[in-house]
Structure 1
């Protein structure tokens, strides 16, 4: 049974356990709270706070998530006290001498991390803010200063914004949790970059991913598990279309949740995988829910709850709920909520989830009721146009209010008021990201009067500008106009006029010497008096004809290359 108390002004959840004692200190701050221009500041704080722990003979760890950051320790009570008190002391006085080193450590960590299969979903659903921010790399690390770190800690790493859980017999004696005073911070409201749902965007080959925002609770969680059970049966066991079929239920904020479904498949089967997933969703929301599936899911969940209660594994989730302002739930209450869910409840949850659905698929599903998610801007800004030095029809427009990149019918616009980061390279390159996720990449070497554009952009994006390391000279693009690119692809002497000239000359020559060669072949059987001279002439004529044929072929290839 979970009981509530406090330590050092921090609320504490305590529960007995049959396993080893463990404890965790959590704060209500995560990636969703970070502006993209300072993406990584919470993770950096966590690393610096743990540095003072050094190398120990006991297990401890820290983690930064979308909404929470926590420090966890398993071991004897005196070691737990030393660890948690040490973390709090470190948060009050971060080892700033380690700032540059820890930034390098985080960048090395990121380089070895494989992106999650569903990571693009957050970007397309939310854009480049709040719950979409975790889909981006930690681009803000180079710009984070000591003062910004101290201000971040003072705002979020306080006792009012913290909770402690302890799986053990009692709160360990000597636990001080000396944290500064502050306020509780609610989770950010999830933004949306989708004007219409259900929506889709094209994804990488091999995966179909669907997710939906749903109300938080047992109905949505059981819907997610039933969805996985039915998809596994339909797509893997019966149809043999997928190997990996799985779903996930993830709470979002105080009252929301995200249900995600993933199915893989061979390239030739992706249309069938998509159709199979959509058919399962359609059946569930239409009410074709087998009560046996619901009963099996509920039974499994109850077993998991019972086991988690015995080892204290429910504590972290309940502690995070407390940080969100939700009540701590008794185990019997949680089990009762699951057992009360019916097949009709699952159908209702499926119908509601469909309305907010987002699909990532290599196969376009417009005919299945999904609208295309916006991948470009509706309008361009009005300002000074910098013509592309490569493509005359393309241009960069820089105005007082923003910047647009126009490439034929494709328009990407980032308005300065909505710009969440402006990455800046020493050679002048800039990358602007709007809150909706639209990106404008500016390479001044590729546009007429490009440096003038950079000056105007820098003057408007100072607060969100993040300087990047220098690029190698070979990485800085140089303009290659289409005519020059085409000429470079054609062999020397392969211009269009010369190719036409060769065709005009070679076709008659091939026909003439080919005809002479044919007559000489006939003469070999009719007139054998001067056989040697006839053979020599025949070889010459055939040689000229064959060489001419190769010349015609090469000229035709040059003409096709010139037209491209």
Structure 2
């Protein structure tokens, strides 16, 4: 089917012939990555307000707020679509702000029922607490969003130049009008980075293993994801039986680059085995061990997905997003041609690009240094100078929490959000996602210092309701830990590490006993029948026993100490 490019009231329009009920959508180039953490949730809140007055209908309509785009869609008759899209535009011109508190409450309820994605944590570790990293965070800014904020957001982002209309039907709906403000096309933001080196790893709080990497956008990327999924499934589920779900995906980022993500869960007690098998699969692809049969199977499946009359309709939202972000719109036959041209060498080259930018989430209690991955930063490079309260330092530039030679620092100018409680508790999250908690009840921070912090971070402060008294740290409890981004696991010893430490220390006790008995036998000459002569062989055995004892003790202590985590 041939797609036509048209225009309605200055808004670019894409039309694909379709014999079934008409489907239409209005997509804007604005999403979660365009927000700031202190206003996180503003796009979603505006979307809900716009759709409220659409009321009940016999046809399906919906709104969605994604990472880089927001869409309003409907399937139904021409008159219904004209009324729906016209109403959406009218609500964007004059948002129904009388519903603000109700919709704010609905979003909180929606968040409580929302499940976590498989790669929920990777964006904040890769990008920090801004831009593409914001998709990892809850809608923390909801409490502070005011009517004027929503009006400005609509005026800035929801304009005719920043929109694309797409329609699947015999024609554009007769009488359709899109009365939007004039504005400007908005490019996706430049990516930030919280990783000084890659491939890197960080500690997750469960048993799953997740990996992602960045590559140039291409048809080869989708093929690579399919090949990687087949390798993981074959190795971790079919052969080892340690994982139930092993998958991979390819997702364009809107700036000419794309993210390849791989995931594997783990059967109980098999997290270490899954991590090892997962890393082995990545290493296999890194050296170019890619099966032609896998490439052929993935390519055949992709080509099959391009067959059928519904393909062009299903690709319409993606074409609209490509138009908004300045990416090429490839017709089906060109996609098919590019698919057929992908070789094993192309897949290997693409994987090397992905692996070089890789980020690996390892199960609780494990690491990946042994596989050549560097630990992602969990502390700050510097600490501020200022007045000290327990382990907290408050200075003119920011705040630091000190733990021995390490510190976590949030500079006031680099603070993405300050979550403030009426009891004086504060949680500051920096642009790099490092978090510093201020708890006056345990750090003995005086009120004037809390005011100093509040004045410095007032533009990004979100006031939260009073905490349950049981949630407020009390004197005698340990000072707040630090370094963990909001919602991340605090430093702790994993269960697997603890069990391993106990076993190793028990073995060290046994080894110490054997070493002691052997030494006594060599040194004691009171009973000639039990006398063990001291020669070269005896001395070597004695040295090996004592060396093994010391090694086991050191290993046990290392396991108990755990590792510093973000």
Where on the TM-score scale, by shorter chain, does this alignment land: which range?
0.7 to 0.9
Greater CA drift, 61-70 or 403-412: 403-412
The answer for the alignment partner of 1:433 in structure 2 is 429
- SS of the aligned residue for 2:308 comes to helix
- SS of the aligned residue for 2:121 comes to helix
The answer for the alignment partner of 2:494 in structure 1 is none
Q: Deviations over 1:286-309 (max 9, x none)?
A: 221111211111111111122375
The answer for the alignment partner of 1:352 in structure 2 is 353
The answer for the alignment partner of 2:476 in structure 1 is 480
Match of 1:365 among 368, 374, 392: 368
Q: Deviations over 1:159-202 (max 9, x none)?
A: 00000110111111111011000000000011110001000001
- SS of the aligned residue for 2:270 comes to helix
- SS of the aligned residue for 2:72 comes to strand
TM-score by length of 2: 0.82
Q: Does 1:448 align with 2:474?
A: no
**Shift, 1:239, TM fit:** 1.8
Is the 8 Å Cα contact of residues 19 and 311 (structure 1) preserved in structure 2?
Answer: no
- SS of the aligned residue for 2:124 comes to helix
Rounded Cα–Cα distance in structure 2 between residues aligned with 1:308 and 1:284: 36
Q: Deviations over 1:38-87 (max 9, x none)?
A: 00000011000001101222110000000000001011111111111110
Rounded Cα–Cα distance in structure 1 between residues aligned with 2:272 and 2:403: 31
Distance 1:452 1:183, change over 3 A: same
The answer for the alignment partner of 1:377 in structure 2 is 380
Rounded Cα–Cα distance in structure 2 between residues aligned with 1:481 and 1:220: 50
Rounded Cα–Cα distance in structure 1 between residues aligned with 2:370 and 2:458: 45
Distance 1:48 1:308, change over 3 A: farther
Is the 8 Å Cα contact of residues 386 and 450 (structure 1) preserved in structure 2?
Answer: no
Rounded Cα–Cα distance in structure 1 between residues aligned with 2:197 and 2:103: 42
- SS of the aligned residue for 1:44 comes to helix
Is the 8 Å Cα contact of residues 225 and 250 (structure 2) preserved in structure 1?
Answer: yes
Rounded Cα–Cα distance in structure 2 between residues aligned with 1:403 and 1:452: 15
Q: Does 1:184 align with 2:180?
A: no
Is the 8 Å Cα contact of residues 393 and 399 (structure 2) preserved in structure 1?
Answer: yes
**Shift, 1:330, TM fit:** 1.2
Rounded Cα–Cα distance in structure 2 between residues aligned with 1:259 and 1:59: 32
Rounded Cα–Cα distance in structure 1 between residues aligned with 2:309 and 2:247: 22
Q: Deviations over 1:510-554 (max 9, x none)?
A: xxxxxxxxxxxxxxxxxxxxxxxxxxxxxxxxxxxxxxxxxxxxx
**Map of 1:34-433 to 2, 5 A cutoff?**
34-307=35-308, 309-310=310-311, 312-362=313-363, 363-387=366-390, 395-433=391-429
**Shift, 1:117, TM fit:** 2.3
Rounded Cα–Cα distance in structure 1 between residues aligned with 2:234 and 2:469: 54
Is the 8 Å Cα contact of residues 376 and 410 (structure 1) preserved in structure 2?
Answer: yes
**Shift, 1:372, TM fit:** 0.3
Is the 8 Å Cα contact of residues 244 and 267 (structure 2) preserved in structure 1?
Answer: no
**Shift, 1:408, TM fit:** 3.2
Structure 2: which 5+ runs fail to align?
A: 479-566
- SS of the aligned residue for 1:312 comes to helix
- SS of the aligned residue for 1:307 comes to coil
Distance 1:367 1:431, change over 3 A: same
Is the 8 Å Cα contact of residues 31 and 64 (structure 1) preserved in structure 2?
Answer: yes
The answer for the alignment partner of 1:533 in structure 2 is none
**Shift, 1:284, TM fit:** 1.7
Over alpha carbons, which structure has the higher Rg? 1
Root-mean-square deviation (CA, aligned residues, Å) is: 1.3
Q: Deviations over 1:132-175 (max 9, x none)?
A: 01111111011111111111100000000000110111111111
The answer for the alignment partner of 2:467 in structure 1 is 471
**Shift, 1:470, TM fit:** 1.4
Rounded Cα–Cα distance in structure 2 between residues aligned with 1:452 and 1:445: 14
Rounded Cα–Cα distance in structure 1 between residues aligned with 2:445 and 2:433: 27
Q: Deviations over 1:368-397 (max 9, x none)?
A: 01000011112210011112xxxxxxx211
The total of aligned residue pairs comes to 475
Distance 1:471 1:277, change over 3 A: same
Rounded Cα–Cα distance in structure 2 between residues aligned with 1:420 and 1:34: 11
Is the 8 Å Cα contact of residues 285 and 349 (structure 1) preserved in structure 2?
Answer: no
Rounded Cα–Cα distance in structure 2 between residues aligned with 1:368 and 1:450: 47
Rounded Cα–Cα distance in structure 2 between residues aligned with 1:216 and 1:358: 18
